[in-house]
Amino acid sequence: MNEITDKSIMAALGRQLSIAVAQQAVAAGNLANIDTPGYRTREVSFDQVLDEQLRETGSLAVTDPRHLAGAAGAADASVREAEGLPIRRDGNNVELDRELLRMSRAAADFTAAQTALAAKFRLVRYAINESR
């Protein structure tokens, strides 16, 4: 059975922050190119990277007991062209509403992870101050 530790919680929250930043950056790039002829909407994909790692190794390996298996960060994200979006006459397929929604969701994910991290640090600070 997997044990939930402070270290694993902090790592997961850190990954969530990184993912949210990557998603916002890609959505901002899409919005910046909303009027660029021929530009195709891009999206961030983490599932594809994880699937490739599982296929290559059969399972995620821990090479050191201090490592967390499968700890993928924003650097492991792949940016790919979004599929299934209608293309305008100028060849562009960026949709304003879709990108604004993606940015809002990423901002909400970032805020949730940031709030959880702040609460964790408040607990640590409280424990330090109470021991004096």
Whether residue 118 lies inside any domain: the answer is yes
Angle of helix 96-130 versus helix 6-32 axis, rounded to 10: 150
- Domain with 109 in it: 6-130
Whether residue 1 lies inside any domain: the answer is no
Give the residue from 5, 6, 4 showing the smallest Cα distance to 121: 6
pLDDT of residue 115: 95
Rounded distance between C-alpha atoms, residue 116 and residue 118, angstroms: 5
Whether residue 111 lies inside any domain: the answer is yes
Evaluate if pTM is beyond 0.75. no
> Is there a contact between 43 and 79 (Cβ–Cβ < 8 Å)?
yes
Rounded distance between C-alpha atoms, residue 102 and residue 108, angstroms: 10
One-letter amino acid at 81 equals E
Per-residue pLDDT of 27-83, as tens digits, reads 999 999 999 999 999 999 876 655 665 565 555 555 666 555 444 444 567 889 999
For residue 9, what are its two tokens?
């919680």
Whether residue 87 lies inside any domain: the answer is yes
Whether residue 106 lies inside any domain: the answer is yes
pLDDT of residue 70: 47
Rounded distance between C-alpha atoms, residue 102 and residue 92, angstroms: 18
Q: How confident is the model at residue 8 (pLDDT cuts 50, 70, 90)?
A: confident
Rounded distance between C-alpha atoms, residue 80 and residue 45, angstroms: 7
Give the residue from 54, 105, 109, 103 showing the smallest Cα distance to 76: 54
Whether residue 43 lies inside any domain: the answer is yes
Percent of the chain at pLDDT > 90 equals: 53
Sign, CA torsion 55/58/63/64: positive
Q: How many structural domains does the chain have?
A: 1
* Averaged confidence pLDDT in the chain: 83
